Amino acid sequence: MDEQRGPQDGLLTTLTERFEADRTHLRSVAYRMLGSLSEAEDAVQEGWIRASRADISGVQNLGGWLTTVVARVCLNMLRSRQTRREDPLDVQAPAVEADREGGLDPEQEALMADSVGLALLVVLDTLSPAERLAFVLHDMFAVPFDEIAPLMERTPATARQLASRARRKVQGSTPLPEADLERKRQVADAFLAATRGGDFEALVTLLHPDVVLRADKAVGPTPAAIFLSGGATVAKAAMAAMGRARYTGIALVDGMAGLAMAPLGQLRLVLKFTVADGLITEIDVIAEPEIVSGIEVAVLAA
């Protein structure tokens, strides 16, 4: 009896050791697939349950196999998940804040989002489950298409097409020459850094003295649209939005350098900048869901 169980026990020990060694990698895969740290943890745990019950005697590449197990779990979760974009979310107090007592660390969630890129998470959230799987596994983790295809019951050629389609969405398009785009990116990046850091003086130096800010009625805190003018006035308003800045990142917004606020990877608000001579002259803050849903957000590469 013990002799029959011995080899299987050894395989389980090997599997356990490899799983623990790869846990961080598996969580990274799951997070990019799902856009939520708590769901990623659930997927990794479910992956372990499935892996521990499987016959691994014929598995040659244990690390790659574990990646595909977790990816399949994520694919199933994406297919069964009700679209989170339809769920209401207060842009002033992202839902992740409410989960502090439930064990989800909003700081850890924000750091994870920053490490991946908020704009990328926004785009990934617009992809179909198959597109997301193909792009994440191939472009971000170098998994061959012939290993990706069986997960979605497609051919390798189809998996390649799905990744290519996703890649085009991630990259987006821009009407600006590269030099102009880079200058506007630097301004947007500096605006975000000053807002996150609460650096009022640095923010004022980025704004034209006669800068105007327009915010639609969905931005809040009042139910009416907002119009502000003057560098100091606009800077004070930006300082009041420091809480939002944690969930905001640089992005291509309709082909222009801007900012996107996306708690849990769900686009809720965008900032569009008009820049002249290195200074911000106009800021448009858009949060109306029907307008935001029509805005193209893509990754703004450094």
pLDDT per position as a tens digit, 42-86: 999 999 999 999 888 888 899 999 999 999 999 999 998 754 444
DSSP annotation of 221: S
Calculate mean pLDDT across residues 142-147.
Answer: 95
| 30 pLDDT more than 90 | yes
Distances (CA, A) of 180 to 42, 191, 206, 277: 43, 17, 17, 11
**Does 8 or 102 have the greater pLDDT score?**
8
Residue 225 and residue 215 in contact, taking contact as beta carbons nearer than 8 Å? yes
The structure's pTM equals 0.79
For residue 272 the two structure tokens come to 């569009």
| pLDDT band, very low/low/confident/very high, at 4 (cuts 50, 70, 90) | very low
Region 190-202: mean pLDDT is 94
Q: Report the pLDDT value the prediction gives residue 166, as an integer from 0 to 100.
A: 96
Q: Residue 104: which pLDDT band, with cuts at 50, 70 and 90? A: low
Rounded-to-5 percentages of helix, strand, coil across the chain: 60, 15, 25
Please indicate whether residue 93 or residue 74 has the higher confidence score (pLDDT): 74
Average of per-residue pLDDT across 29-34: 95
pLDDT class of 283 with cuts at 50, 70, 90: very high
pLDDT for 217-229, tens place per residue?
Answer: 998 777 789 999 9
pLDDT for the residue numbered 235: 96
pLDDT score recorded for residue 96: 36
Q: At what angle do helices 156-171 and 145-152 cross, to 10 degrees?
A: 100
Separation CA 148–CA 229 (nearest Å) = 52
With a cut of 60, say whether residue 97 has pLDDT above it.
no
In 3D space, the residue among 14, 19, 136, 13 whose CA is nearest the CA of residue 71 turns out to be 136
Is residue 295's pLDDT more than 50? yes
Return the minimum-mean-pLDDT range out of 6-10, 77-81, 187-191, 232-236. 6-10
In sequence order, the β-bridge partners of residue 256 are 253
